[in-house]
Structure 1
Amino acid sequence: MDVAGEGWHVVDLSNGLESVAVAIESSSTVLTFPEFQYSPENVQGPGCTVDLSEVTLPGCPCLFHSCLTESCCCLQAHGQAYDITGTMLDLNRTDTGYSSPVFECNVLCSCSDSCSNRVVQRGLRLRLEVYRTRNRGWGVRTLEPIKHGTFVCEYAGEVISFDEARHRQLAQKSEENNYIIAVREHAGTGSIIETFVDPDMVGNVGRFLNHSCLPNLFMLPVRVHSMVPRLALFAGRDIDAQEELTFDYSGGYSNQPPAELLSTKSDVAMQASSTNGLQRKVCRCGAKNCSQFLPLDLSVLN
């Protein structure tokens, strides 16, 4: 789908499903592009027993244009995640290695669609471009500056079961990309909620985001209408126009490289052998703290 406006002519990867066109670099359109079904949101995949369209969270009776903490039961129950502009408030929430889930107002809430507690559900608002990187296949860059704490895009795809995720990973060939993201949330003593999202066959622009050991995005589980979280990516710092967007596939995030860097071949060999013979993919992020290999969720394979 071609989109033209204000001097910006692009091939829209989303075919009009996003409120903002997702550009494909013009020089890349002649290259072989992966076939998949574009979906701005998660869809129910094999093994998923939850109807993602079913509204399972209660709504608030707020009649204000935007909800207020002192009167909104949603904000009182789950806390205020965004400021009045929709920017993430607690920008240090991922520094400890743990993060709290975000709950937005939903379809049962009486507040307006422009309520400041409705951010991820509004979808893509930034001009992004899928392009061919120098040595990491396809990637995503921003065509405009992005402020720290801004919602960038979702990592959307098929929500599948543990068994299906395990089956898909074991069936992959060494040259194939692994798209499955496993999110584990600790919901109390001994209680763990797992969500597996695979955008390989059905997904959005998030499927083209590359890993980095020093990323500029961080991922948070955000719940809107359902208890099944949406995997939302936010800017971990100010990002310049034309900069590639990346996140840590293992779920970690830090603006600073660690004090000790992996540097010896023996360290690399130890990491490779720790996967019980599974072939790990080399990381080419180029960060100073690069761990040499892409993260691998071994628990799915055990």
Structure 2
Amino acid sequence: MVEVKASDRDLCNGLENVPVFIEGNVNKDNYPAFQYSSENVQGPGCDIDPNEVILPGCLCRVHSCLTESCSCVQTYRQTYDSHGRLQDHRSMGNSYCRPLFECNILCGCSEACFNRVVQRGLGLKLCVYPTQYRGWGVRALEPISCGTFVCEYAGEVIGFEEARHRQLAQGPQDNNYIIAVREYAGQRLVTETFVDPAVVGNVGRFLNHSCQPNLFMVPVRVHSPVPRLALFAARDIGPQEELTFDYSGGFTNTLSVERLVQGDPGTEASGTDKLQRKPCHCGAENCVRFLPLDISVLN
């Protein structure tokens, strides 16, 4: 029996509003070596500091903005309800969702404005734990209502060439943490964002993939044009249930990546001998057998 001190049970070292618990007697020294960060950091190839205040604020001089008049809300007309839950989450289906702009430090509204959710940070009790077949995972320790913000997928924001370099440098047994988010206006690619939490990241780096996930991702902008990759509950989630999202963006989010679903595990992907298709162990009835892999950065 290994004794674990109370101070060792918080994986985030006090950097979040609430502790990120470590299950049982697993000491945080036994977890993968990485630097915890509650928000995105600027990495190689990223020209903009993700936390620099660049976006303008709204002119609302009220305690909480009005949906019909706030410029932050009107940009894409997607926002939260009075309980801080994402609106229209039940009607999204498998369609692409719209990005979201929260009020920021330059806005005239108060810190209590309904349009400030992701920027307030982690507010739910989560637990990181070892799974049987899929490495580490994340559990909810309390009920989570559909549409509720759960956590960010935070890490280094890097450029295309750096993302390509890192993927090519990976071996067959290496985990690929890089998420590519591509946002479109019609058929035109507007912007793409690459986030890698392998070395610097938050609790989101421990979330597993599922072909039938209970979370979905939305790009949320607060101070900077660089989006925060926010994960919301796709349905009501019970205590002790594992939290998962579809790495390919197949559940209502704006990720656009290619999913490799044919062939055998170990088959070379995209003509390179350094990246291999990895089998999916999510256990969902609709499992496509292989983890999603974005091969666009390898072309």
Scaled by the length of structure 1, what TM-score is found?
0.88
User: Are 2:281 and 1:287 equivalent residues in the alignment?
Assistant: no
User: Are 2:40 and 1:39 equivalent residues in the alignment?
Assistant: no
Paired with 2:112 and 2:157, the residues of 1 have a C-alpha distance of 28
Paired with 1:270 and 1:282, the residues of 2 have a C-alpha distance of 6
**Aligned position for 1:86:** 84
Paired with 1:209 and 1:17, the residues of 2 have a C-alpha distance of 19
User: Are 2:25 and 1:19 equivalent residues in the alignment?
Assistant: no
**Aligned position for 1:124:** 122
Change (3 A) 1:13 1:274: closer
Do the aligned residues in 1 keep the contact of 2:182 with 2:189 (CA within 8 Å)? no
Provide Cα deviations, 1:139-172, integer angstroms capped at 9, x if missing partner. Answer: 0000001000000000000000010001001101
Provide Cα deviations, 1:49-74, integer angstroms capped at 9, x if missing partner. Answer: 11223222111122222111233222
Runs of 4+ in 1 over 4 A off after TM superposition: 266-275
Paired with 1:267 and 1:191, the residues of 2 have a C-alpha distance of 27
Paired with 1:216 and 1:284, the residues of 2 have a C-alpha distance of 16
**Aligned position for 2:256:** none
**Aligned position for 1:145:** 143
Report sequence identity in percent.
64
Paired with 1:94 and 1:2, the residues of 2 have a C-alpha distance of 44
Give the match's secondary structure for 1:27. coil
**Aligned position for 2:196:** 198
Change (3 A) 1:138 1:238: same
Give the match's secondary structure for 1:168. helix
- 5+ residue gaps, structure 2, are 253-260
Paired with 2:91 and 2:293, the residues of 1 have a C-alpha distance of 24
- 5+ residue gaps, structure 1, are 4-8, 255-265
Give the match's secondary structure for 1:26. coil
Q: Give the CA RMSD over aligned residues.
A: 2.3
Moved more, 213-222 or 53-62: 53-62
Paired with 1:209 and 1:51, the residues of 2 have a C-alpha distance of 25
**Aligned position for 2:168:** 170
User: Are 2:220 and 1:222 equivalent residues in the alignment?
Assistant: yes
Paired with 2:247 and 2:187, the residues of 1 have a C-alpha distance of 26
Q: Match of 2:298, as an amino acid?
A: L
Change (3 A) 1:66 1:2: farther
User: Are 2:210 and 1:212 equivalent residues in the alignment?
Assistant: yes
